[in-house]
A = this chain, B = another copy of it.
Amino acid sequence: MSHEVFDYSTTLGSAHFPNPIFTASGCAANGKELSAFFPLTDIGAVVTKSVMTNPRSGRATPRMAETPSGMLNAIGLQGPGIDTFLREDLPWLVEHGARTVVSIAGESVDEFAALSRKVRNSPGVSALEVNISCPNVENRGLVFACDRASAREVIEGVKRSVGNSLPIIAKLSPDVTDIVAIAQEVVGAGADGLAMINTLLGMVINTETMRPQLANKTGGLSGPAIRPVAVRAIYQVHAALPNIPIVGMGGVLTGNDAFELVLAGASAISVGTATFNDPSAPVRIKNELAELLVARGFTRFSDAVGFAHRAQA
């Protein structure tokens, strides 16, 4: 295999990455623990756990349940808060040479704007992921990503704060009637890219206790179970917005799975739940995908992005 002639690099707005395999927010903590398994510089980028303004305890346990080919989680965005994050976690990543996509989450439009301003002013950030799959406390707890107007307002606020200093990647929820409409809305508001999909809302009931298994009752469904939903969502959005880069995720366990999302239209791939199964998954998948692309005759990764829309049967 002649990897030398293979160009694995990818681009999200103004950010360049030597390869398209990223971690998924919330599935790699803030990088440190994963670095026991591989050098973080090997992968395209580390996407950090979505961070909020203040420290968060997260939700009560149990926070997880295994489901067929997937899992539910209800962590509740436990984290140190943006200031500690920028003081401790981000510098560690920068020091270790990891390209970093910082993921932020807020409960109001203003919180998102303020968070993004702080991130903009921090050195070493490749891109900003705006996780809008959180409840909007100012609007009956409606999830931002499930409402066109709220989604637009958040991204507009972030864009005003960040300008063109950092690519803004809006992370979408699949729990909507029309994900293309939401995608168009946030792109109209200034998003440079899209991350999709976040988890699907699910529930497991423990048949011993006869109560919901999670303390929070509902949780987010991730893992290979949801991959067909991710592929469909990416395909639909890439068809509607072919020039907007997509960070694809949802159930990627192997290079072949990553390839599916790339063919659907993803310019980068985040590996989430798979990392719990195999802490080396991001590097393994990076290598497997490269092999597949080379075997299919691609000389540039970017040529494969959205290829399923173009190829004839």
Q: Point out residues on A near B: beta carbons under 8 Å.
A: 65, 67-70, 72, 146-147, 175-178, 200-205, 207, 209-212, 217-219, 221, 223-229, 231-232, 235, 251, 256, 259-260, 263-264, 292, 296, 307-308, 311-313
Pick 8 A–B contacts, CB within 8 A, sort by A.
A68-B69, A68-B224, A200-B228, A205-B260, A205-B264, A205-B308, A210-B263, A210-B307
CA distance A218 to B227 in the complex (A): 13
A178 to B: closest C-beta gap in Å: 8
Verify A231–B211 contact, CB threshold 8 A: no
Q: Which residues of B have CB within 8 Å of A201? A: 229, 232
Q: Name the residue of chain B whose CB is nearest to the CB of A225.
A: B225
A182 to B: closest C-beta gap in Å: 9
Report copies per complex: 2
Verify B228–A308 contact, CB threshold 8 A: no
Verify B231–A205 contact, CB threshold 8 A: yes
List 9 A-B pairs, minimum CB-CB distance, nearest first: A202-B228, A225-B225, A68-B224, A68-B69, A69-B69, A203-B232, A203-B231, A205-B260, A210-B311
CA distance A177 to B210 in the complex (A): 27
Verify A204–B260 contact, CB threshold 8 A: yes
Q: Which residues of B have CB within 8 Å of A219? A: 228
CA distance A61 to B226 in the complex (A): 23
CA distance A225 to B230 in the complex (A): 13
Q: A202-B231, A231-B202, A313-B211 are in contact. Are A225 and B260 (CB under 8 A)?
A: no
CA distance A229 to B204 in the complex (A): 9
From B177, B203, B226, B259, contact of A225 by CB (8 A)? B226
Verify A263–B225 contact, CB threshold 8 A: no
From B178, B227, B259, B313, contact of A207 by CB (8 A)? B259
Q: Which residues of B have CB within 8 Å of A207? A: 256, 259-260, 263, 292
Extra A-B contacts (9), CB below 8 Å, given A203-B264, A218-B235? A65-B228, A68-B224, A147-B177, A200-B229, A207-B259, A209-B313, A212-B308, A218-B232, A225-B225
A199 to B: closest C-beta gap in Å: 10
Q: Which residues of B have CB within 8 Å of A259? A: 207
